Amino acid sequence: MLKVFTKSKKKKYATIPSEMAKQDVPEGIMTKCPNCKKIMYTKELVKNLKVCFHCQYHHSMNSKERLASFLDENSFEELNAGMISENPLNFPDYLEKLEKDRKKTEINEAVVTGIGTVDGQTIVVAVMDSTFRMGSMGSVVGEKITLAIEKADELSVPFIIFTASGGARMQEGVLSLMQMAKTSVALKRFSDNGGLIISIMTHPTTGGVSASFASLGDYNLAEPGALIGFAGRRIIEQTIREELPEDFQTSEFLMKHGQLDAVISRIELKEKIATILSIHQQGGDLEW
C-alpha cells in the first residue's frame, strides 16, 4: 500500500507549449523533409530550390517558384493569364471548387504560360501547377498550352513545358480527353516546322498528361524521384493482382525503361537546359 502511495507522488505532466512559445516559432519557418524526416529552415530550403540538403528530395514547386527558379530575372511575360474555365457539363460544385482554388493559389488555372529567357535565350514556357485542382487538364489547360505552342511556332523559339498533373479533369469529361489530342496536334505541327520541344516531368506527371505532351519532347527529361505513369499504381495492382516494385513509375524506373533522355537534379536543370538550347541555336556554325 505504502509503495503505491510513494509512486503516485511522482506526477507526470504532458508538456503543452504556451501561447508565447507557439509564437516564437511561426508557422512555416521550418520544413520537415517527408523523405528523410530531417528539419530545416524553410528559407534556406527555398534558396536551395526546395531540394533537401540531406537527401536531395525534390519538394514540389508551384508555378511561381518554378518560373523564378528557371527563367532569367524579370524576363517573364505571361500569356492568356485571364483565361478561366466554364462548366460545360454543368457538373455539380465544379465552379465553386475552381473559385476556391483560384483564391488559394492566386492563379486562374492549372497552367501558367508565357515568354521568357533562359541564359539569354528566348523560349515559350508552360508550367503546370499541381496546387490548382491537382494540375488536372481541362479545356483551359489544353487551350493555354496549345496557344503557347502556337506562340513558339510564330516566334520560331523553343517550347519548354514543366508537367505536373494528376491527369484529365473529371468535371469536364470527354472534353478533357480531347485536350490530349488538341495539344498533340499542335505539337506535331510545331515539330514539323522544325520546332524544339523540351518536356520536363515533375512530380506527379500521370494519366492523360503523361500520355500526350509530357512524352512528346525532342528531349524528355525528369526531376529525380518524380512519379510518372499512365495508370495509377493501385489500379494496376488490382488488375494484375501482383505487388509492384517500390521504384515502379519513378523517374529512375522510366529512365531504365527507355522513356527518358535524362534525370536531372533541379540544381543543375537551368544550366543543362541552357546547354541544350545553345546546341539548337541558329547561326552557331559561323566559324564553319
Using CB under 8 A as the criterion, which residues of the chain lie in contact with other proteins when the complex forms?
Answer: 191, 194, 196, 218-220, 255-262, 272, 275-276, 278-281, 284-288
Q: Kind and range of the H or E element at 113?
A: strand 111-118
Nearer to other proteins, 16 or 279 (CB): 279
Q: Find the shortest distance in angstroms from Cβ 31 to other proteins.
A: 32
Q: Cα–Cα distance between 208 and 177 in angstroms, integer? A: 7
Q: Find the shortest distance in angstroms from Cβ 284 to other proteins.
A: 6
What Rg, from alpha-carbon coordinates, does the chain have? 23
Q: Find the shortest distance in angstroms from Cβ 146 to other proteins.
A: 21
Q: Is 5 exposed, middle or buried (0-12, 13-18, 19+ CB in 10 A)?
A: exposed
Beta bridge partners of 112: 127
- Count helices and strands (H / E) in the chain: 11, 10
Is 147:80 a contact under the CB 8 Å cutoff? yes
Nearer to other proteins, 164 or 276 (CB): 276
Residue 157 Cα distances to 151, 160, 273, angstroms: 9, 10, 14
Q: Find the shortest distance in angstroms from Cβ 60 to other proteins.
A: 24
Nearer to other proteins, 193 or 238 (CB): 193
Nearer to other proteins, 141 or 277 (CB): 277
Q: Find the shortest distance in angstroms from Cβ 26 to other proteins.
A: 43
Nearer to other proteins, 153 or 172 (CB): 153
CB atoms within 10 A of CB 32: 10
Residue 275 Cα distances to 96, 136, 205, 272, 281, angstroms: 44, 31, 24, 5, 10
Q: Find the shortest distance in angstroms from Cβ 190 to other proteins.
A: 12
Q: Find the shortest distance in angstroms from Cβ 99 to other proteins.
A: 40
Nearer to other proteins, 148 or 255 (CB): 255
How would you classify the pairing of strands 262-263 and 219-222? parallel
Nearer to other proteins, 204 or 217 (CB): 217
Q: Find the shortest distance in angstroms from Cβ 288 to other proteins.
A: 5
Nearer to other proteins, 185 or 262 (CB): 262
Contacting residues for 266 by C-beta, under 8 A, at least 6 apart: 49, 50, 51, 58, 69, 223
Q: Kind and range of the H or E element at 202?
A: strand 197-206
